[in-house]
Chains A and B, each alone.
Chain A
Amino acid sequence: MNAPILEAEEIRGGYDGHEVLRGLSLQLKHGDFVGIVGPNGSGKSTLIKALTGLLLLQGGEVRLGGRPLRAYAPRDLARVLAVVPQMIAPSFAFTVREVVEMGRYPHLARFAAPGGDDHRVVEEAMALTDVTHLQHRPVDQLSGGELQRVTIARALAQQPQVMLLDEPTAHLDLGHQMQVLQLLERLNREQSLTVLCISHDLNLAAEYCHRLLLMSVGRIYAEGSPTEVLTVEHLRAVYGALVHVEANPYSGQPMVLLNRVGGEEEAE
């Protein structure tokens, strides 16, 4: 149980000769809920690509369940690892149910029709994400929050052990942001789903993730509990921004505030 389910060891890689990931290492244990934060261009989305086998690595290795990622057939990989990518407008008007059913793809042989088990998993996934009432709606008519929940339902239908999410709350309003993260928290707690989630929003990540990885120029700059990672010094070094950090009076988690006045953090 304590062996890492997903680990990256000294991975390097990028696009067209530009190295984005510069010897990055991380470990995810079963049941973890980890957030990745960091400034634009620090390599967060590239890291997701590397962890899902979409990026050809120049060095290092990614292992899933102890096995190198490249040793997995695409289908086997999709049964263990599900990805919720950044939201894009759908090109075709599949219904919500059709999209969630596509999560069963890695479990179905070419000539096999979906059976009772598949329908049960699809219905559970829709119920968990609260999209059952939308199941016959075309996905191009959904709001951003609804579409994001449908994408998570599709990932759940894969029955994965690990779920990677790339900015699942971008473009969502406050209410939908909380809804999505509460859903992930529940899946993590009740189904012991391992969650790795990229986030732009430091406060949201601090509130929900058990552990944070702060990225800077293709490496992990700091790692630990939200309180350990989100410090004035770390954020000044990585973002080049003057901030003030306080504890959220309700949860006790760190809360990052802009510091326009300056100087105050010197006193701490």
Chain B
Amino acid sequence: MNMPLCRTRAWALLIILTVVLLISMVISAGIGSAHLSPSDVLQAVWDRLRGISDHGMMQVIVWDVRLPRIALALLVGGSLAVAGVVMQSLFHNPMADPYIVGVSSGAGFGAVLAVILGLQNAFLGMNARALTAFVGGVIAIFAVYLLSRRRGRVPVTALLLTGIAVGSLLQAITAFLIMQRSNGVFREVMLWLMGSLANRDWSAVAALAPYAILGVAVAGIWARDLNVLALGDDTAHHLGINLERARFVLLVIASLLAAAAVAVCGIIAFVGLIVPHLMRLLVGPNHRVLLPASVLGGGLLLLWSDVLARTLLPGGEVPISIVTSVVGAPFFLYLLHQRIHRA
């Protein structure tokens, strides 16, 4: 295999992923209590785009109910996958994931705090919930990072155990805070925290999109640095990386992506672990290709997980986090098993 062929292969895989994603969007928009054919879906979208709003049932279902969920699935899946990619490079450790290292729990804690304190004000265009989620996520990841670092390295076991401990602590405090509230608030916050794309409209998409796009763009600009960082802290330093600055920028970006997703959709586990791993098998570890592939793969995974979440129980919704955990936890155990046996 020569060099141009490698590059051609990477591009081909990205195009295939994009096509699969587009087809998935059309098919999944037709799946639900009212079943629509792909041509119905395309017709409804086409009419709406041409400005023909007949407010017919089909257009409402496609445009107002299902499309926002699909768009949200793509944004959340892409954000969580890229957050995973960034953390894995930074920790030189393919087991890192926003949920496993406690960022999602930190963000959940921050978001619940905003709900309970009744914070509404927007700051710098961020609503209060997104802002406190972001701060919670950043604090959690820096805490886990500093606690699990030994002489400039982050060993797998230390990272996982510290992440679990910090995550559990934050979840316990969050649960305690929610318990103090009335039953109505309790139920609402619990349901949201469990992770779901249910009942979200275009405003949720608009709230998440700027952070998702900003985070993915910054990660893309740092793709070459992510490659070098994946070789280890000492080697990255020897190759001219400014370690302190790179760590700061990338941890903040990973937290921003994870926290924005949590603020809108609650805690959805394991996406940041599964997607980068599968994409590395498909396109290799080079971040110039791995990052776009992970955005597409993350979107695909959440899209179909959400289809399962809303169709698994007749007349009811399963939180999407249950779907991703049922797939992700065994996958995580499998990876762990493999690493232990290789070491």
Contacts and interface: CB of A to CB of B under 8 A. Distances in A.
Are A and B bound to each other? yes
Interface of A: 15, 52-54, 73-79, 81-83, 85, 88, 90-95, 97-99, 102-103, 105-106, 108, 110-111, 136, 138, 154, 158
Contacts of B6: 95, 136
A91 B239 contact: no
A54 B237 contact: yes
Nearest to B6: A136
Interface in B1-35: 1-3, 6
* List of 10 A-B pairs having minimum Cβ-Cβ separation, nearest first: A78-B240, A106-B240, A83-B238, A75-B240, A92-B285, A105-B239, A74-B242, A74-B240, A92-B230, A91-B92
A11 B225 CA distance: 31
A53 B231 CA distance: 18
A11 to B, nearest CB: 18
Contacts of A93: 280, 284-285
Nearest to B246: A74
B94 interface: yes
Judged by DSSP, the binding face of B is loop
A82 B237 CA distance: 10
Contacts of A82: 238
Interface in B225-256: 225, 227-228, 230-232, 234-235, 237-243
16 contacts: A53-B237, A54-B152, A78-B239, A83-B234, A83-B238, A85-B234, A90-B231, A92-B230, A92-B285, A94-B284, A95-B6, A99-B231, A102-B231, A102-B239, A105-B224, A136-B6
Nearest to A75: B240
Contact of B93 (A78, A91, A110): A91
B168 interface: no
Contacts of A77: 240
Interface in B116-145: none
B57 interface: no
Contacts of B152: 54
A94 B240 contact: no
B94 A92 contact: yes
Interface in B146-202: 151-152
Contacts of A75: 240, 242
B343 to A, nearest CB: 9
B289 to A, nearest CB: 11
A12 B232 CA distance: 25
Which of B1, B94, B227, B240 has the most CB atoms of chain A within a 10 A radius of its CB? Answer: B240
A166 B280 CA distance: 31
B285 A110 contact: no
Interface in B251-291: 280, 284-286
A151 to B, nearest CB: 9
B221 interface: yes
A89 to B, nearest CB: 9
Which of A88, A90, A91, A93 has the most CB atoms of chain B within a 10 A radius of its CB? Answer: A91
A74 B231 contact: no
Given A83-B238, A94-B285, 4 more contacts: A73-B242, A93-B285, A98-B286, A158-B239
Given A85-B238, A158-B239, A94 B227 contact: yes
Nearest to B2: A136
B234 A94 contact: no
Nearest to A78: B240
Interface string B95-127: 000000000000000000000000000000000
B221 A110 contact: yes
B288 to A, nearest CB: 10
Given A93-B285, A105-B228, A79 B240 contact: yes
Given A98-B227, A105-B224, A136-B1, A92 B280 contact: yes
Given A93-B285, A95-B284, A99-B231, A15 B238 contact: no
A15 B152 CA distance: 12
A52 B240 CA distance: 11
Nearest to A102: B228
A73 B240 CA distance: 8
A15 B151 contact: yes
Contacts of B93: 91
A88 B93 CA distance: 14
Contacts of B3: 97, 136
A193 to B, nearest CB: 16
A105 B221 CA distance: 14
Contacts of B151: 15
Contact of A85 (B235, B242, B284): B235
A136 B2 CA distance: 7
Which of B93, B232, B235, B280 has the most CB atoms of chain A within a 10 A radius of its CB? Answer: B235
Contacts of B238: 52, 78, 81-83, 85
B280 A74 contact: no
Contacts of A54: 152, 234, 237
Interface string B203-228: 00000000000000000010011011
A91 B94 contact: yes
A81 to B, nearest CB: 8
Which of B237, B238, B239, B240 has the most CB atoms of chain A within a 10 A radius of its CB? Answer: B238
Contacts of B237: 52-54, 74
Nearest to A155: B238
B158 to A, nearest CB: 15
Contacts of A83: 234-235, 238
